[in-house]
């Protein structure tokens, strides 16, 4: 394959274009189609004559057939099998069951063979036959040849589509689900690969079918990535809906519009950022209306699935319209749910990807924009600003690294933590206590008795070699980590779940972040910030799917280190320490934070109060107010990202007269938190406690004093810690 690639590159050198004038060819066919279209079809005889005329245009040897052959040759080059003559003969023999010497050898399509055909209409018949065979089997479709009259006028006026939503990469479990369930149900990728390697011996026909499907998927990926047809969407793990979106955009005429039903990820996912950014920058986005399938608009699709009505325009649209979280089409008439965003708004909210946030209402849009005018994103790739020195790591992939996983502890192995095991400020949220949990990819909640034991540590599903973990963490000098749940949704109890972890193995569903903050005492501030309600609210405006991906975390509004005064650090650090340090396995973290005592007892009521005080403090940091309780305008002099205009502030105040109103509103956007409080206490206790502390902080500031906690003993007091290690039995 490398030799053929080198030969093809040499053939392309010195000649930038193939001898083919697409405009001239399209005009020629458009004229012939116009003659064909002018034929009458009022009688059966006229219909037969019109059909015969159509067939003459497309008959073998015709100009249309010759150009189709050229297009087939060009496309087939991506789908032909690339191997040496001997290897290809052996493969074809294995597939057909014949001797390699009985197999006819078909040469490979190259740039030179296509150029020769375009110049002379003469080519090796085996090449032409191979091209037409692949075109028939894979259904090649050349739009200008099928619609020459449309493309002669610049493209379609309207394109409507509900394209397939499928990954290009062959999904092994899906392929084998009905063909060989044993392979599909293999416990991990390593086990599945072992079973697939055994297929030639026990089911040769299925092996051949799998190899053909695998080749087709890889060839399609190669075509999409290398053909130049899909420069904006052939990225990452390609999905067909993205490719169709780029295709349809390119099919539109000068005044054309295209409407599609696609997953909302077209506007929110990192793999689509180049397409969406280009679409918005060119003014090509007319509207994006997001729906949840909760009321079964698509009965065969899961009720939790999100999709959007995407409308694209060839002529520029100054401000695109948006609506999110709709369940019925009539909700698009609600003026508070339907709003406009400009390109500069997307640049403010998602500077790295320019992808779209997912606002439920205009109020959410205005409040989130205010937050982003005041607070910078965690990592700004456009300006290279990274005040926390953040790095991300996915330590072990559950599929690709499954060969390392062991199902029982042993010398030289350490636990493999997964996202389901952690909660906010809690590295012992769940454990695999039962065989059912281990087999079912589930976890058991940790009990009150287990939380009360500072020596208790979770039991994972898997263990991994300690040396592999240390090799991954060679750059990190500390005996603790910071991880978060990747799997999450905007409608869950919380969306951001960050915690400190022991120095162990960690799966890809619990990504790690590393910080080079100038002082270790700032680390608790970062952890508290990432678990705060106000940041969680901002994250909910970003997640259109079920993953808190790196690109989303980078674009969350996170207070930079310089925003924390010594008084703020003194307030935050002990509260985070008491919340996090509840077991001996995090003793290294406590010592690095300057605490040399035993872990703190798990006390649900104290933890509730500690978190309420932290959340009240972060509401005041994110939504500062003037002395009279009015909004403080965001501006660069005050550390803001941009200067807020009077018009922008007036629009914000239309929904939230004061910052306290905004804090109260944010807390109402966590319905599961509210429902649990109502069921247990008969009132929304979390909201009441946070706002009560918020008001107490305001009064303390007005009086020139510090806020005094109602916790007794105060946060991280030795009186709420376990006995020292030597006193335990």
Helices and strands (H and E) in the chain: how many: 32, 15
Region 392-417 average pLDDT: 94
The helix/strand/coil state of 287 is strand
Question: Looking at the predicted structure, is the pLDDT value of residue 94 above 80?
Answer: no
Question: Looking at the predicted structure, is the pLDDT value of residue 90 above 80?
Answer: no
Q: Residues 471-486: pLDDT tens digits?
A: 999 999 999 999 999 9
Alpha carbon distance 153, 653 (integer Å) = 50
Q: Residues 692-729: pLDDT tens digits?
A: 999 999 999 999 999 999 999 999 999 999 999 875 44
- Determine which of 18-32, 617-631, 707-721 has the lowest per-residue pLDDT on average: 18-32
- For position 102, what pLDDT does the model report? 42
* Band of pLDDT at residue 5, cut at 50, 70 and 90: low
Q: Residues 378-401: pLDDT tens digits?
A: 999 999 999 999 999 999 999 889
* Band of pLDDT at residue 411, cut at 50, 70 and 90: very high
Alpha carbon distance 373, 644 (integer Å) = 7
Region 593-604 average pLDDT: 97
- For position 101, what pLDDT does the model report? 43
Domains and CATH numbers, the chain: 2-153 (no CATH), 172-226 (no CATH), 240-360 (3.40.50.150), 391-720 (3.90.220.10)
Q: Residues 303-316: pLDDT tens digits?
A: 878 899 999 999 99
Token reading at 260: 């599609």
Region 644-665 average pLDDT: 97
The helix/strand/coil state of 536 is helix
- Determine which of 322-336, 371-385, 582-596 has the lowest per-residue pLDDT on average: 322-336
Phi and psi (nearest 5°) for 17?
-130, 150
* Band of pLDDT at residue 21, cut at 50, 70 and 90: low
CA distances from 7 to 15, 74, 109, 114 (A): 14, 16, 11, 14
Residues 6+ apart with CB under 8 A from 45: none
Question: Looking at the predicted structure, is the pLDDT value of residue 105 above 60?
Answer: no
* Band of pLDDT at residue 297, cut at 50, 70 and 90: confident
> Hey, which residues does 557 pair with through a beta bridge?
377
Token reading at 251: 């099919």
- For position 16, what pLDDT does the model report? 43
| pTM for the predicted model, two decimal places | 0.84
State the residue for tokens 């032909």: 80
- Answer whether 268's CB lies under 8 Å from 297's CB: no
Helix (H) or strand (E) holding 664: helix 659-668
- For position 3, what pLDDT does the model report? 62
DSSP conformational letter for 634: P
Residues 6+ apart with CB under 8 A from 605: none
Alpha carbon distance 574, 709 (integer Å) = 12
Helix (H) or strand (E) holding 340: strand 339-341
Number of other CB atoms surrounding residue 25 within 10 Å: 18
Region 597-625 average pLDDT: 98
Number of C-alpha atoms within 13 angstroms, CB side, residue 706?
8
Token reading at 296: 């079964």
Region 551-571 average pLDDT: 96
Check residue 600 and give left, alpha or beta (phi > 0: left; psi -120 to 50: alpha): beta
Alpha carbon distance 95, 91 (integer Å) = 6
Upstream peptide bond of 713 is cis (omega within 30 degrees of 0): yes
Phi and psi (nearest 5°) for 627?
-60, -30
One DSSP character per residue, 408-462 reads S--TTEEEEE-GGG-BTTBS-SEE--SHHHHHTT--EEPPHHHHH-TT-----S-
* Band of pLDDT at residue 103, cut at 50, 70 and 90: very low
Share of the chain above pLDDT 90, in %: 79
- Determine which of 487-491, 494-498, 588-592 has the lowest per-residue pLDDT on average: 487-491
Token reading at 138: 């894979």
Region 101-121 average pLDDT: 76
Alpha carbon distance 287, 312 (integer Å) = 7
- For position 726, what pLDDT does the model report? 72
Region 486-515 average pLDDT: 95
Do the strands 391-393 and 505-506 form a parallel or antiparallel pair, or are they unpaired? unpaired
């Amino acid at each position: 394959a490398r030799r053929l690639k080198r030969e093809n590159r040499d053939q392309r050198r010195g000649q930038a274009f193939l001898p083919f004038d697409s405009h001239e060819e399209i005009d020629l066919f458009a004229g012939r189609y116009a003659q064909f279209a002018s034929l009458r079809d009022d009688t059966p005889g006229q219909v037969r004559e019109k059909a015969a005329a159509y067939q003459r245009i497309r008959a073998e040897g015709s100009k249309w057939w010759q150009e189709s052959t050229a297009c087939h040759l060009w496309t087939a080059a991506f789908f032909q099998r690339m191997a040496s003559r001997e290897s290809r003969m052996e493969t074809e023999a294995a597939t057909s069951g014949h001797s390699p010497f009985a197999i006819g050898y078909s040469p490979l399509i190259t740039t030179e063979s296509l150029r020769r055909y375009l110049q002379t209409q003469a080519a090796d018949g085996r090449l032409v036959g191979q091209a037409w065979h692949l075109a028939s089997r894979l259904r090649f479709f050349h739009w200008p040849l099928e619609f020459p009259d449309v493309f002669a006028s610049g493209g379609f006026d309207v394109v409507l589509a509900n394209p397939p939503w499928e990954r290009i990469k062959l999904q092994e479990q899906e392929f084998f689900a009905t063909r060989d369930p044993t392979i599909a149900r293999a416990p991990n990728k390593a086990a599945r690969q072992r079973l697939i390697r055994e297929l030639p011996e026990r089911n040769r026909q299925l092996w051949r079918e799998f190899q053909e499907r695998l080749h087709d998927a890889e060839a399609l990926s190669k075509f999409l990535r290398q053909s130049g047809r899909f420069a904006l969407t052939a990225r990452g793990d390609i999905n067909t809906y993205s490719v169709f979106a780029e295709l349809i955009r390119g099919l539109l005429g000068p005044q054309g519009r295209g409407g599609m039903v696609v997953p909302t990820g077209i506007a929110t996912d990192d793999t689509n950022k180049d397409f969406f950014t280009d679409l918005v920058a060119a003014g090509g986005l007319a509207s994006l209306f997001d729906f949840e399938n909760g009321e079964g608009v698509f009965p065969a699709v899961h009720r939790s699935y999100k999709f959007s009505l995407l409308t694209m325009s060839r002529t520029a649209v100054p401000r695109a319209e948006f609506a999110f979280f709709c369940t019925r089409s009539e909700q698009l008439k609600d003026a508070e749910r339907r709003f406009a965003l400009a390109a500069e708004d997307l640049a403010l909210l998602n500077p790295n990807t320019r992808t779209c946030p997912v606002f439920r209402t205009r109020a959410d849009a205005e409040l989130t924009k205010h937050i982003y005018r005041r607070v910078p994103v965690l990592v700004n790739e456009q300006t290279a600003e990274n005040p926390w020195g953040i790095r991300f790591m996915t330590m072990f992939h559950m599929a690709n690294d499954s060969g390392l996983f062991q199902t029982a502890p042993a010398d030289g192995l350490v636990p493999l933590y997964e996202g389901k095991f952690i909660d906010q400020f809690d590295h012992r949220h769940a454990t695999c206590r039962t065989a059912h949990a281990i087999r079912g990819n589930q976890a058991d909640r940790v009990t009150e008795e287990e939380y009360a034991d500072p020596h208790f540590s979770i039991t994972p599903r898997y263990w991994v070699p300690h040396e592999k973990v240390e090799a991954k963490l060679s750059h990190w000098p500390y005996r603790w980590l910071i991880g978060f749940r990747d799997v999450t949704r905007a409608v869950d109890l919380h969306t951001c779940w960050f915690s400190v972890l022991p120095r162990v193995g960690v799966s890809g569903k619990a990504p790690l972040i590393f910080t080079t903050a100038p002082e270790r005492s700032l680390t608790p501030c970062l952890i508290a910030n990432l678990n705060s309600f106000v940041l969680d609210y901002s994250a909910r405006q970003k997640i259109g799917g079920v993953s808190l991906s790196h690109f989303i975390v980078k674009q969350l509004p996170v207070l930079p280190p310089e925003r924390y005064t010594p008084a703020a650090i003194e307030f935050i650090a002990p509260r985070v320490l008491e919340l996090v340090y509840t077991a001996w396995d995090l003793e290294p973290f406590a010592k690095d934070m300057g605490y040399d005592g035993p872990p703190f007892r798990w006390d649900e009521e104290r933890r509730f109060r500690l978190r309420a005080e932290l959340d009240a403090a972060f509401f005041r940091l994110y939504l500062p107010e003037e002395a009279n309780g009015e909004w403080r305008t965001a501006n660069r002099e005050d550390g803001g990202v941009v200067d807020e205009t009077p018009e922008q502030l007036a629009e914000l105040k239309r929904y939230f007269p004061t910052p306290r109103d905004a804090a109260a509103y944010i807390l109402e956007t966590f319905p599961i938190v509210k429902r649990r409080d109502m069921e247990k206490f008969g009132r929304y206790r979390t909201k009441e406690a946070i706002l009560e502390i918020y008001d107490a902080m305001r009064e303390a500031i007005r009086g020139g004093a510090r806020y005094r906690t109602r916790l007794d003993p105060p946060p991280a007091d030795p009186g709420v810690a376990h006995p020292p290690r030597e006193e335990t039995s």
